[in-house]
Amino acid sequence: MKVVLVNGSPNADGCTFTGLGIIKEQLAKHGVDSEIFQAGNKPIIGCTACRTCKQTGKTGKCVFDNDMVNTVGQAFREADGIILGSPVHYASACGAATSFFDRLFFSLEPEAKKLKFGACIVSCRRAGSTATFDQLIKYFTISQMPVVSSCYWNGIHGYTPEDVYADKEGVRTLTILANNMAYLIKCKNQSNIELPEEPPVVMTNFIR
C-alpha cells in the first residue's frame, strides 16, 4: 500500500509540508507507505497545451522532463492514492502547485488515475482555504478518482510549522483524513470486484 504526497508549496519545509508530514506519520501507523515529493520549490512551467502527452502512442509523460512532474506521475502509477498539498495564495492554490498539478493530471493516462483515491490539503494563514480546497478536488473528480474526506475541509492554519501543530483541530482533521485514506485503500485491495467498464470516449466541445 502506497500513497504519493505532493508538496506544491514554494516552501519545502513550511506549513504544507508539515501537514503532509502529519499525514505520512499517521498512514505509517496503518502500514501504508508514503513519500513526500517536493514539487513547488523551483520554477515550474505551466501546461503549454502542446498535447505531446496525448499524441500517438500516448506517452503519458509531460514533454518538459526537467522537473518532478514525470517522476511523481510514475510514482502515482505505482500507488494506491495521492494527496495534493498547496498553500493558499490569493485565495487559490499557489502558482507552482497549479502549474504542477495541471501538467501531472493532463499528462497521465486515464488508467493511471481511475478509481485511485485522492485527497488534498491546503494551508493558509487566515482565509481562502475552502476555495482552494474546491479547486484541488476538481483534479480528482474529472479523473474518476474517489475523493477521501475527513471531518472538515482539509485545511490547516499557520504562517510557520509551529503554528500548524498549534492548530489542533486542523491536526485532527489531517489525522482522520489519513485514517480514512488507509481504510479505503485496504477495502479496495481486499475486494475482488473488477473495475467497471465505460462507454467509448466522445468529445462534443459544445459545437452545434
Is residue 155 a contact point for ligand FMN (CB under 6 A)? no
Residues in the chain, overall count: 208
Q: Nearer Cβ to ligand FMN, position 102 or 163?
A: 163
Which residue has the closest beta carbon to ligand FMN?
A: 14
Is residue 9 a contact point for ligand FMN (CB under 6 A)? yes
Start-to-end CA span in the chain (Å): 46
List the one residue out of 138, 125, 139, 170 whose CA is nearest residue 19. Answer: 170
Tell me the window of 56-64, 83-91, 112-120, 197-205 that interacts with ligand FMN (CB under 6 A): 83-91
What is the CA angle 116-118-123, rounded to 5?
Answer: 165
Is residue 21 a contact point for ligand FMN (CB under 6 A)? no
Q: Decide the pairing of beta strands 33-38 and 2-7.
A: parallel
The three three-digit cell numbers of residue 85, written as one number: 498539498
**Residue 1 near residue 189, CB atoms below 8 Å:** yes
Binding track over 157-196 against ligand FMN, x by CB under 6 A: -xx-------------------------------------
Q: Nearer Cβ to ligand FMN, position 37 or 80?
A: 37
* Chain positions contacting ligand FMN, by CB under 6 A: 9, 11, 14-16, 87-91, 123-128, 158-159
